[in-house]
Amino acid sequence: MPKLSPHLKGLTGQPSFQIFARARELEKQGRSVRHFELGDPDIDTPQEITDAAIRSLQSGNTHYTPARGQQDFLEAVQATTSLSRGFRPDIDQLTVTTGANAAIFYTIRAICEPGGEILLPNPYFPTYLSAATLAGAVPVLYDLEPANNFSPNLSTIKSLINPRTRAVLINSPSNPLGTVWSPMEIQSIYDIALENDLYLISDEVYARMIYCANSSFSSPATLDECKERVILINSFSKTFAMTGWRIGVAIAPCDVSERITLINSSVAACVPGFIQDAARAALGVPPDVTEKIYSTFRQRQIKLAQELTASGFFDCQIPQGSMYIFPLIKNAHSNSEDFAFHLLESAGIACTPGSYFGSRGEGYLRFSCAGEDSDVVGLSELIKEAANSHFTIAA
């Protein structure tokens, strides 16, 4: 028998998709399932964006495009970054990728030699761990403590830095937590990166989804304009309800960007031109179109938090941002994976165990607000029934 590479043994991919696959199996058996497992908006991509893709296809934009990206799209990204982050990146700082996931992997591969360490938040978005593993880097987790509202603890981060450390990764607003880090926290982490000469990767895919008047978006990219150490990762997936289109952008120092572009050209060749034309249209849609998407997520977050709290089985905070709820299971007698699978099998409620986001997520569940409004109605009663039977058995 030929042998598989032992190198990828720890690769987990995106574990939420395992829950989704089981939910689909149950549906095939005739069961009805409420979907809270994936961050895939039920909302259609706005018409202006789809129309732009169709026009582009019809005009013949179906060939290879430059690996860095199409010039007109790159210029649109420059203009948008200037408005949203206060600086205009050079074209040779940009790479258009097949989504943020690819950008994260390419970035880690570009800056981290095999055995180099990268500091990741715990809880984390699972791609970080997979991308680091795939790149041969060593993921080192910095815990975000619930007692500290999952804010970054600067001395914890500092204590993990050693000569092998290459980068710190941050994600605000966060998946799965929905927390938004303050400008002071962002500045402090930037200062740590500066003092230790590290790269700082900032995953900003939920940047536009911040709902509280007392928290505002802050990006370390504005501090060095991505000229020296900050690498900004962004995506069209959630911002414009474009998950299936697979388009994101990395903004990085020129030498890093050159490598990211080389990897992009080796792996994907390019992002299709008609997708870039659609994304260019997305950057021009009127704000009320996107605001409608975000207010839908926000209303669901609030309703979902109410239902989860009313069930009596969760301590539930309404987060400041993103499109998730991360409730703590009260008096848990079992681990979050057992509980999540019990909810799925017995009540058709599909959510993701907190442990899939790292050891610090154990004891929690993640509910995505990307599904249908009707899935939230009456949820507390369903949970009560299912959870009561689970806890009785477990006790």
Ligand X SMILES: Cc1ncc(COP(=O)(O)O)c(C=O)c1O
Binding residues for ligand X, rule: CB under 6 A, are 39, 99-101, 125, 127, 171, 175, 203, 205, 235, 237, 243, 248
Residue among 314, 311, 319, 309 nearest 369 (CA): 319
DSSP label of 368? E
**Nearest to ligand X of 219, 235 (CB atom):** 235
CB of 312 to ligand X, least distance (A): 29
CB of 275 to ligand X, least distance (A): 12
Tell me, rounded to whole angstroms, the distance of Cα 219 from its chain centroid: 16
**Nearest to ligand X of 171, 264 (CB atom):** 171
CB of 368 to ligand X, least distance (A): 9
CB of 346 to ligand X, least distance (A): 27
- Closest CB to ligand X: residue number: 99
| Bridge-based pairing state of the strands 230-235 and 248-251 | antiparallel
The b-or-e profile of 299-333 (16+ CB within 10 A means b, else e) is ebbebbbebbbebebbebbebbbbbbbbbbbeebe
Residues whose CB is less than 8 angstroms from the CB of residue 100 and which lie 6 or more positions away in sequence, other chains included: 203, 205, 233, 234, 235, 237, 248
**Nearest to ligand X of 112, 177 (CB atom):** 177
**Nearest to ligand X of 110, 347 (CB atom):** 110
**Nearest to ligand X of 81, 175 (CB atom):** 175
**Nearest to ligand X of 219, 311 (CB atom):** 219
CB of 235 to ligand X, least distance (A): 3
Q: Which residue has the tokens 């999540």?
A: 340
CB of 75 to ligand X, least distance (A): 21
Please state, in angstroms and rounded to a whole number, the distance separating the CA atoms of residues 127 and 133.
10
108, 100 contact by CB (below 8 A): no
- Residue 12: both structure tokens together: 């987990």
